[in-house]
Chains A and B, each alone.
Chain A
Amino acid sequence: MSEPADTRDLMPGPGPVSLYVHVPFCVLKCAYCDFHSAPLPAEPGIADHFAWAVAEGAAHWAALGALDDVVSIYVGGGTPTTLGESLVTLLDGIRDCARVRAGAEVTVESNPDTTDPATAARLVASGVTRFSLGVQSFDDEVLRTLGRCHDAARAARAATELASTGAHLSLDLMCGVPGQTLASWRDTLERAIATGAGHVSVYPLAVEHGTVLADRLASGAIGEPDPDLAAEMMALAEALLGEAGLARYEVASYARAGERAVHNSGYWTGRPYLGIGPSAASMVSAETFAAAVRCEAWGDPGVAGIGRTVTELPDGAARVRFTRSADTVAFLRKPVGPPEDVEFLTAPEAAAEDAMLGLRLAEGITDRLAEEAGACEALAGLAAQGLVEHAGGRWRVTPAGWLLGNEVFAAVWNAGARRGLA
C-alpha cells in the first residue's frame, strides 16, 4: 500500500488525513528512552478510561469535519499493548465518529513483552491491519545494554505470533549500540529477514540527554558509540535488507513491494495529521486550526490549567503544528483542550519543511517543490558535494546523502526558512 511521494497538499481543508494516538504507558523504561512514557497506573479501569478519553478527543475533531477522510491510524507510544483489550474499545471509539477510508492502514505498536496472541487476534478482527514490533536486536547482550525488558528469544516469538495473525508486520532495529559488533548486527538483520516481516526500520542509537544510557556513558560504565561503525552498520543494513527484497525507501525505512508505511509516509509528504493523547503532535491547515480555536473546549485550559489559549492566528500562517501537554492526568480529565506548544508556518516555510522531509524519501522531491521551497540553489550546492542528484525532474539523495542527511536537511531548511515571515 504505497502512497505517491508528492501527494503533498498545503491547504488540505477537508481531505486525506492521518490520525495518531499516543499511549504513554510502558512496562519498564528502556535505558535510551526519552519518549513520553511511564508505567500504567495501578488504578482499576484506567485502561478503559484512557480508551474513552481518546474517543472523546476523536469526536471533537470529527465534529469539526477534520476526520472525514482518514487514510491511516497509528496507535503508538509508549507501548499501546499495555492497554490490552481496551485497545479494541479505543479503536471502536474512533471508528464510531471518524470516517475511515476502506482499506485504510491501521497500525498498533507492540513490544515483545506485552505481545499476546489472543489480544493480537482480537485487534485484527476489529480492523488492525499492521503491527510494528520493537525488537531492537536479536542479541541478548545488546538488549541488556539498551535496558530492554525482553530477550532475543521472546522477540522472535512475538514476531511469529504477530505474523500469524495475518496482519502486516514491521520490525524496529537499532544499530550503533555500544558493544554491538558488526557480526551481531548481521545476525540481527538476518533473523529479522527470516521472520518474513514486510517492513523494517533501522535506527542508529542516539544518546539523549538525561537518559540512563547517557548517565552510564558519562560515568564510563559503557563505551562511547562509534559513529563510523554505526555508518558501516547502516550500510550493511541497506545491503542485506535490499538483497532480501526490502528496499530502502526512506532514511530509516525498508519495505517489500506494497509494504511501505502509509502513515509514516504522510509525515514526509505534508499530509495533515491529528494527534490524540498526552504529548501527541498534530499538523493541520490554518483553517482547521482556526475552527478548533473557536471551540468552547479550547477556550478553557481546564482544571489542571494546562495548555495555552490561542485566539488569533498570525498573518500569513498557512500551517500549524501543535502539541498537547505531556500530562497524562490532565489528558484523562480533559481529553479536549488547548495545545501547549503551537508553531505557525507560512506557506514558504511549509514548503521548505516539506522539501526537507521529502528528501528523506528515495523518490526525493519534485522540481516544483524545490522551487516553492526556495531551495534550488542550496540543492545545486549539495549536488556539487555529491550529497544529492537531479534526474527526471526530481532531486533525491545519493548513497552518501543518506548517511549525511543532516547536511542536506539543514541546507534545504535554512535556505527556505530565510524566506519565511519570521
Chain B
Amino acid sequence: MSQATHIRNFSIIAHIDHGKSTLADRVLELTHTVADRDMVEQVLDSMDIERERGITIKAQAVRVLYTAEDGETYQFNLIDTPGHVDFTYEVSRSLQACEGAILVVDAAQGVEAQTVANAIMAMNAELEIIPLINKIDLPAADPERVRHEIEEGLAIPADEAVLASGKTGQGVRDALEAVIRRVPPPEGDPDAPLKALIFDSYFDTYRGVVALVRIIDGSISKGEKIRMMATNTVTDVEEVGVRRPANLPVDELAFGEVGYLITGLKDPALVKVGDTITLAKNGAAEPLPGYREVKPMVFTGLFPIDGDQYPDLRDALDKLTLNDPALIYEPESSHALGFGFRVGFLGLLHMEVIKERLEREFDLDLLATAPSVEYHVFTTKGERLIVHSPQDMPEPSAIERIEEPYLKATVLVPPDHVGAVMELSESRRATFKDMQYLSATTVEMHYEIPLSELIMDFFDQLKSRTRGYASLDYEYIGYQPGKLVKLDILLAGKPVDALSFIVHRDKAYQRGRVLTEKLREIIPRQMFEVPIQAAIGGKILARETVRAKRKDVLAKCYGGDITRKRKLLEKQKKGKKRMKNVGNVEVPQDAFMAILKVDE
C-alpha cells in the first residue's frame, strides 16, 4: 500500500438548500478552475431543470488544484451532491469515491432531517467528516446554537467546525486547509491489477457512454483493454480524463484519482454504475463491493398523449436509466390511455424531474397517472402478487390480504410545533414511535407510516402546518398488512382505469367524496352532462356532475372579426390536444394527479 499524499477526495453533503453548490462555486473560484467570465451561480448545476428549480439533482465531480498554506499544491476531487431525500442514492454513490466529507449546516436553519441522514451515511462509509457552519453572513445566523446541535444531535465534535459563508467567501480557505489536514490521502496499490469503481455515468450522443470512475488500485490509460467485471464486457479505452468541470483528457489516471473514461460503448446496459473495471489481461480477481441496489418506491403510468410517440418514449427511458439506476420501467396498457409504461421512482420529485426531462430533452408530450406504491397481494388461492398499478388489483373476493410498504419517518422540528406534527401524522395512519430532544431547539420524532400516505401531500402539509420549520427524512422498513381497497372512478358511467387508486377502507368514503369534487372542478364542461362517481366493487360512494355546456358561441362575427375568431377556434383545438379523450370525455392532465391534492 502506498499513499497518494497530494490527493484529497471529498464530497460536500447537507440538507437541501444549505448551500453546497454555492460553496463549490467559491472553491472553483478560489482555485481558478473556472474562468471569471464563465462563472455563474451554482455553476455545477448544469441541467436546465436544476437551474430553474435552484436545486441539485445530479451529483457532480470536479477536480481542482489548490495551493495550500504549506506552499504545496494539492489535487482535490470534490463531489457536490444533491440534498433532496429523493436523490439520497446520489450521495451514497459519491461517498464511495471519497475519504472525507464536508458536512454543510445552515447557520440559521440548523440541523435538519437530511443533515442527520447524510451524516450517518458518511459515518457508515467511515469517512472523515468536517462540519461546516454555512451562511454565517445571514442576520438570523446562530453559529453557537448550530454548533451545539451538531455536537448533541449528531455526536460529531464541532469545536473545530469551520465557520463560512458561500455567499461572501469567508471561511472557504479554512475549509480547504481543514480538508488537507484532516481528510486522509487515498491509499492503494499502484502495482496491483487495476480496480476502478464506476460511481456514475452519462450518455453523450457523440462519444457514447461516459463512465465516472475512482481508481482504487493500479492505473489506467488510453488504449488499454479493460473488462467490466459484472457485465463481463471487454473493450478498449478510447480516452481518460478529468472533469474541470468540462472534460479534459489526460494520459493516465493513477490510484486514488477520480476522472472519466470513454470506451466507445453505446449500450448503456453494459456500463453499470457500481461495477468494477479491471484490465482484460491479468485483471483483479475480486470486484469491489459495489452498490446496494436502489429500489424505486413509487410507481406511475407514463403515457404519450399522442400514441405514435410510444417507441420514442421507450428509447428516451432507455437513455435516462443510464445514469439513474433507480429508474425502472415496464410496459403498461390502459383502456383509457392506451400504451405506455409503468415507471418506478424514488419519490415525487424524482418523478416530476424525469417526466420533465423526458418532455424537454426528448420532445415528448406525456400524461402521468397518480403515483402508486408496490402492494403485495395475497390471494385466496395462496398466491402472492406484486401490484404496481391499481388496475392490476384482483377482485376483492379473490383477495385474502394486502400488504403495503412502510417507512420509518424522521421529523425534525422545533418543540412548539410538535403538536402539529402529531396531528398530521395521526390523520395519515402513522404510528408514533418515539421522540427525543436533539438539542433545546430541535426535537427528533420517529414514526412508522405507510408510504402511500407519505406520497399524498404529506410533505407539503408538514411544511405548511409547521410554518416551514419541520424537515423530513425517511427510509424503507418493510411490509405490513393494511385494510386496503381499490376505489374506482367512473366518468359518464364507465370506469376509468387510469383514475382508480388504492386507499385504506376507513378513508375510502372521504377520499372518494373529495376527489369527485376536485374532478368536477378540473374537468371542463362538455357537450353533454358528465357524471363522476367513486365506487368500490360496484358500490357507489360519491357522485358529482359536470353540467353540460349550454352556450359557447362567438356571437359577433363581422369583417374584421373573422380572422381573429377563426384563430381563437384553432387555439381552442390545440388546447384540447393537451387533453386526453377518455370515452368521449376530454380529461385534462391535472385530473390524473388530483388524488395527490386531496387535502383533508
Chain A residues engaging chain B, CB cutoff 8 angstroms: 20, 202-204, 206, 227-228, 230-231, 234, 251-252, 264, 267-268, 273, 275, 279-283, 321, 323, 341, 343, 353, 356-357, 360, 385, 402-407, 409-410, 413-414, 417
- What CA separation (Å) do A407 and B562 show in the bound complex? 16
Closest Cβ–Cβ distance, residue B143 to chain A (whole Å)? 47
- What CA separation (Å) do A407 and B552 show in the bound complex? 8
Q: Mark B530-563, 1 if CB is under 8 A from A, else 0.
A: 0000000000000000010111111111111011
Closest Cβ–Cβ distance, residue B420 to chain A (whole Å)? 32
> In the complex, which of the residues A251, A275, A282 contacts B557, with contact meaning CB atoms closer than 8 Å?
A251
* Chain B residues within 8 Å of A267, by CB: 557-559, 562
> Can you list 15 A-B contacts (CB < 8 A)?
A206-B556, A230-B551, A252-B555, A252-B556, A273-B559, A279-B560, A343-B563, A360-B557, A402-B553, A403-B551, A403-B552, A404-B527, A406-B552, A409-B569, A414-B573
Q: A404-B527, A406-B572 are in contact. Are A357 and B553 (CB under 8 A)?
A: no
Closest Cβ–Cβ distance, residue A342 to chain B (whole Å)? 10
* A203 and B556 within 8 A (CB): yes
* B550 and A231 within 8 A (CB): yes
Q: A353-B566, A414-B573 are in contact. Are A204 and B551 (CB under 8 A)?
A: yes
Closest Cβ–Cβ distance, residue B365 to chain A (whole Å)? 19
Q: Interface size for chain B: under 10, 10 to 19, 20 to 34, or 35 or more residues?
A: 20 to 34
Q: A385-B527, A410-B572, A414-B569 are in contact. Are A251 and B553 (CB under 8 A)?
A: yes
A/B pair count, beta carbons within 8 Å:
91
* Chain A residues within 8 Å of B554, by CB: 206, 405-406, 409
* B566 and A321 within 8 A (CB): no
The answer to whether the Cβ of B126 comes within 8 Å of any Cβ in the partner chain is: no
The answer to whether the Cβ of B570 comes within 8 Å of any Cβ in the partner chain is: yes
* B566 and A406 within 8 A (CB): no
* Chain B residues within 8 Å of A206, by CB: 554-556
- What CA separation (Å) do A343 and B554 show in the bound complex? 21
- What CA separation (Å) do A402 and B551 show in the bound complex? 9
> In the complex, which of the residues A203, A228, A281, A409 contacts B551, with contact meaning CB atoms closer than 8 Å?
A228
Q: Mark B141-152, 1 if CB is under 8 A from A, else 0.
A: 000000000000
- What CA separation (Å) do A402 and B547 show in the bound complex? 18
Q: A20-B559, A283-B559 are in contact. Are A410 and B550 (CB under 8 A)?
A: no
* Chain A residues within 8 Å of B552, by CB: 227, 403-407
Q: Give A261's nearest chain B residue, CB to CB.
A: B558
- What CA separation (Å) do A252 and B556 show in the bound complex? 7
Q: Mark B557-600, 1 if CB is under 8 A from A, else 0.
A: 11110110010011011000000000000000000000000000
* Chain A residues within 8 Å of B551, by CB: 204, 227-228, 230-231, 234, 403-404
Closest Cβ–Cβ distance, residue B590 to chain A (whole Å)? 21
Q: Give B547's nearest chain A residue, CB to CB.
A: A228
Closest Cβ–Cβ distance, residue B546 to chain A (whole Å)? 13
Q: Give A321's nearest chain B residue, CB to CB.
A: B563
Q: Give A403's nearest chain B residue, CB to CB.
A: B551
- What CA separation (Å) do A227 and B525 show in the bound complex? 11
Closest Cβ–Cβ distance, residue B240 to chain A (whole Å)? 52
- What CA separation (Å) do A251 and B554 show in the bound complex? 9
- What CA separation (Å) do A280 and B556 show in the bound complex? 16
* A275 and B559 within 8 A (CB): yes
